[in-house]
Amino acid sequence: MTVALNAISIVVADMGRSLAFYRLLGLDIPASADGEPHVEVALPGGMRLLWDTEETIRSFDPKWQRKGSDGMSLAFQADSPAGVDKVYAELIDAGYHSEMEPWDAFWGQRYAVVLDPDGNGVDLFAAL
């Protein structure tokens, strides 16, 4: 039996707030999705990104509780180091929390981390 990674799922407290964050990262998500309990967007290469509200998860797992997300993050590649700075500034200006300001990492990337509305790390990077 073979399995293949097909989707990444994010559990959210407020669907509209979360989707607004990911729209700023360039994902094409219709505004009509803001009030939905489950949302999916197709990514290049066949991968999907999914969002479910906490209520949706509790509908089939009543004991579900948020445990945090340290140790996992999503990484978005910018076209250039200046692109990292631009996207980072747009997210911070929109009121999202900075975990790590843009810097030139020793592994050869311009790199920054912003938290999405549910505290998930979102890495921004581009080759130097």
Rounded distance, CA 111 to CA 128, Å?
A: 10
User: Could you write out the three-class secondary structure of 3-31?
Assistant: CCCCEEEEEECCHHHHHHHHHHCCCCCCH
Average pLDDT over residues 45-59: 95
Residue range 61-90: mean pLDDT, rounded = 90
| SS3 label, residue 44 | helix
pLDDT, mean over the chain: 94
The Cα-based distances of 115 to 39, 53, 64, 121 in angstroms read 20, 18, 22, 5
Residue with tokens 């990077």: 125
Domain positions in the chain are 7-59, 73-127
Longest dimension (CA), the chain: 47
CATH architecture of 7-59: Roll (3.10)
**Domain 73-127 fold:** 2,3-Dihydroxybiphenyl 1,2-Dioxygenase; domain 1 (3.10.180)
pLDDT at 69: 65
Residue 65 has pLDDT above 70, yes or no: yes
The predicted-structure confidence for 12-25, as pLDDT tens digits, reads as follows: 999 999 999 999 99
